[in-house]
Amino acid sequence: MIQPHGADRLRPLFIENRDERETLLREAAELPALILNSAAAANAVMLGAGYFTPLEGFMNLSDTLSVSEHMQTEEGLFWPVPCINRANNISAIEGASKIALLDPNIKGNPVLAIQDIDKIESISDSQLSQVTEQIFGTLDPQHPGVDTFSGLGKYLISGPIKVLNFSYFETDFTGTFKTATEIRNEIKKNNWERVVAFQTRNPMHRAHEELCKIAKDAVDADGVLIHMLLGKLKPGDIPADIRDAAIRKMVELYFPEKTVLVTGYGFDMLYAGPKEALLHAIFRQNAGCTHLIVGRDHAGVGDFYGPFEAQTIFENNMIESALEIDIFKADHTAYSKKLNKVVMLRDAPDHSKDDFVMLSGTKVREMLAAGKDLPIEFARPEVAKILMSYYQQDKNP
Tens of pLDDT, residues 220-250: 999 999 999 999 877 777 888 888 999 999 9
Q: What is the topology classification, in CATH, of domain 175-265+271-395? A: Rossmann fold (3.40.50)
- Considering only CA atoms, which of 289, 278, 271 is closest in space to residue 320? 278
Residues of the chain with CATH 3.40.50.620: 175-265+271-395
Candidate list 184, 201, 243, 380, residue with the active-site label = 201
- What pLDDT band is residue 203 in, cutting at 50, 70 and 90? confident
Tens digit of each residue's pLDDT (9 = 90 or more) over 91-143: 999 999 999 999 999 999 999 999 999 999 999 999 999 999 999 999 999 99
Active-site residue, 284 included: no
Backbone dihedral region for residue 38 (phi beyond 0: left; psi -120 to 50: alpha; all else: beta): alpha
Sheet with strand 195-200: strands edge to edge: 260-265, 223-229, 195-200, 291-294, 326-329
- What does the pLDDT look like over 285-328, one tens digit per residue? 999 999 999 998 899 999 999 999 999 999 999 999 999 999 99
Nearest one of 135, 121, 150, 125 to 60, comparing CA atoms = 121
Residues of the chain with CATH 3.10.400.10: 18-167
The identity of residue 336, as a single letter, is S
CATH assignment of 18-167?
Answer: 3.10.400.10
Q: What is the pLDDT of the chain when averaged over all its residues?
A: 93
- pLDDT tens, position by position, 19-33: 999 999 999 999 999
**Consecutive H or E run containing 67:** helix 61-70
Residue 26: active-site member: no
Which is the catalytic residue, given 21, 109, 194, 202?
202
Q: What is the mean pLDDT of residues 34-53?
A: 98
